[in-house]
Amino acid sequence: MKSIGNFLTVWYVLICTTVLPVNALALEVMVADADGQPVETAMVSAFPVSQPPVDASDNGYPVAGKPFTIWPDVSGFTDQSGKVHLDLDHEQPVRVRIRKPGYGDTVIDSIS
């Protein structure tokens, strides 16, 4: 793994990705194959590394009528240039997963 300024570059056998935190609430992801060619229509998903605590005192369920917060997963597909922009609903660290049929899945842990 190699880090260049605000860019995090990760090389894998099948997929090379560049993840650029645009700001606390957005990611720009560029996906390329092992030859450096853009990969179109790869699904890129950002998952929160952890979720906020929930009062599950009602037999493991959130208490009825009591508000609670979740941080949703966000997904998008790369365009012809291999890029996708993901808008996040939270400022928490995320795990990014990239998948496309014919390629191995790529997971990048804890991007903040």
Nearby residues of 104 by Cβ (< 8 Å), 6 or more positions away: 12, 13, 14, 15
Nearest alpha-carbon partner for 9 in 31, 1, 38: 1
Is pTM beyond 0.75? Reply is no
DSSP E strands in the chain: the ranges are 2-4, 7-11, 15-23, 26-33, 43-48, 74-77, 83-87, 94-99, 106-111
> What is the chain's pLDDT, residue by residue, as a tens digit (112 residues)?
333 334 444 434 345 556 666 666 888 888 888 888 888 999 999 988 887 787 878 887 888 888 888 888 899 999 999 999 988 877 788 889 999 888 888 888 866 6
